[in-house]
Amino acid sequence: MKRDVVRRWISTIVVWLCGLSVVVALVPLAFILFFVVSQGVQALNWEFFTALPAPVGELGGGFSNAIVGTLMLVGIGAAFAVPVGIISGVYIAEFPATKLATMARFAADTLNGVPSIVVGVFVYGIAVMPFRQFSAMAGGVALGIMMIPIVTRTTEELIKLVPPALREGALALGATRGRATLTVVLPAAAPGIITGVVLALARIAGETAPLLFTAFNNRFLSVDPTQPIASLTVQVYTYAISPYEDWHRQAWAGALVLVSLVLFCSVLARVATRRLERLQTGH
């Protein structure tokens, strides 16, 4: 009898502890968001978006070079990662039993777990050393490599979700397998794949480590893919570890821009997924 009371008490305590751990995880989240917003808003102004960094020691200046740089880098990365990711995802979903599919799936998972700094070292070896030059191109390649596995796995998952009847219908009408995939299956999976791509874009836009010694940094506005280029993340890093108060202020503003971007994409993806689910279940 007494033992049962103890057991019930233990159960209640553990249930509360589990709830508490959610709170414990959400406290840092709230803290981070609070500081990023409160500190970032103070430094965020028109100049931040339009001006170039001021010379060292002078107040003011902005992140326009970094914003353009991040857009360039993400653009270059996406330009090759999106096709590679989608097409390889199609292969893995269409021929799942082949040896190549198993290997590619494993490779994608592995690549997803490779530390981003290691990707930077790799790209330094293949795209910086041979040209003896840090470049936007190299930075874009590094980001693209980070992006491929996310797009591949998303595409695979979403193609698998397309009802087989759709594909069978196309095949029954005499379409080849490739044609059925391109004209029927892929369009059906497209909204989900686009959502996945948007999330992947948000993720690579927030990467710092692979850019440190590929894209390097640039205090001036540059759109030349063969030259070093600034990025939001690397500039936030440089400013954060600098000794200048005004640069710290701007680093917070840069962080706010990054976090808003990520939040915006996550919420967008969430809404899109929900709409997609509703479409598929027909409500």
Partner 1 sequence: MLRRLRGRDLGFKIGTGAFAALIVVIVAGIGFELWRQSALSLQKFGFAFWLGDIWDPVSGEFGAKPFIWGTLYSSILALALATPISLGIAIFLSELCPARFRLPLTFLTELLAAIPSIVYGLWGIFVLVPAVRSFEQALPQALRATPLFSGPAVGVGMLSAVLILAIMVIPFTSSVAREVLKAVPSSQREAAYALGATRWEAIRAALFYARTGIVGSLILGFGRALGETMAVTMVIGNNPQIKASLLAPGYTMSAVLANEFAEAADDLYLSALVEIGLVLFAITLMVNMLSRTLIWQMNRPVRATRAARVPIGAAPATGGAA
Please name which of 4, 160, 143, 157 lies closest in space to residue 72, comparing C-alpha atoms. 143
79 binds partner 1 (CB under 8 A): no
CA–CA separation, 104 and 88 (whole Å): 8
Total of residues contacting partner 1 (CB under 8 A): 88
CA–CA separation, 231 and 258 (whole Å): 11
- Closest contact distance (angstroms) between CB of 44 and partner 1 is 15
- Closest contact distance (angstroms) between CB of 159 and partner 1 is 11
15 binds partner 1 (CB under 8 A): yes
- Closest contact distance (angstroms) between CB of 161 and partner 1 is 17
Query: Using CB under 8 A, which of the segments 49-57, 148-156, 158-166, 219-227 binds partner 1?
Result: 148-156
32 binds partner 1 (CB under 8 A): yes
65 binds partner 1 (CB under 8 A): no
Applying CB under 8 A, which of residues 60, 163, 169, 178 lies at the interface with partner 1? 178
State which of positions 106-135 bind partner 1 (CB under 8 A).
107-111, 113-122, 124-126
Contacts of 126 by beta carbon, 8 Å cutoff, 6+ apart: 141
- Closest contact distance (angstroms) between CB of 104 and partner 1 is 4
Rounded (10°) CA dihedral 35, 41, 42, 44: 130
Q: Are 228 and 178 in contact (CB under 8 A)?
A: no
State which of positions 198-227 bind partner 1 (CB under 8 A).
202-203, 205-209, 212-213, 216
Burial class for 156, CB neighbours closer than 10 Å (0-12, 13-18, 19+): buried
CA–CA separation, 211 and 138 (whole Å): 8
148 binds partner 1 (CB under 8 A): yes
- Closest contact distance (angstroms) between CB of 238 and partner 1 is 11
CA–CA separation, 218 and 231 (whole Å): 8
104 binds partner 1 (CB under 8 A): yes
Query: Using CB under 8 A, which of the segments 52-60, 62-70, 81-89, 159-167 binds partner 1?
Result: 81-89
| Buried residues in 93-113 as b, exposed as e (16+ CB within 10 A) | bbeeeeeebeebbeebeebee
Applying CB under 8 A, which of residues 166, 194, 221, 259 lies at the interface with partner 1? 259
Applying CB under 8 A, which of residues 79, 172, 263, 279 lies at the interface with partner 1? 263
161 binds partner 1 (CB under 8 A): no
Alpha helix ranges (H) inside the chain: 2-43, 46-50, 64-94, 99-113, 116-123, 136-161, 164-172, 177-180, 186-205, 232-240, 245-281
Question: What CA–CA distances, in Å, run from 151 to 72, 156, 215, 259?
Answer: 19, 9, 23, 21
Applying CB under 8 A, which of residues 1, 2, 3, 29 lies at the interface with partner 1? 29
81 binds partner 1 (CB under 8 A): no
Query: Using CB under 8 A, which of the segments 4-12, 48-56, 158-166, 185-193 binds partner 1?
Result: 4-12
- Closest contact distance (angstroms) between CB of 147 and partner 1 is 12
Q: Are 165 and 256 in contact (CB under 8 A)?
A: no
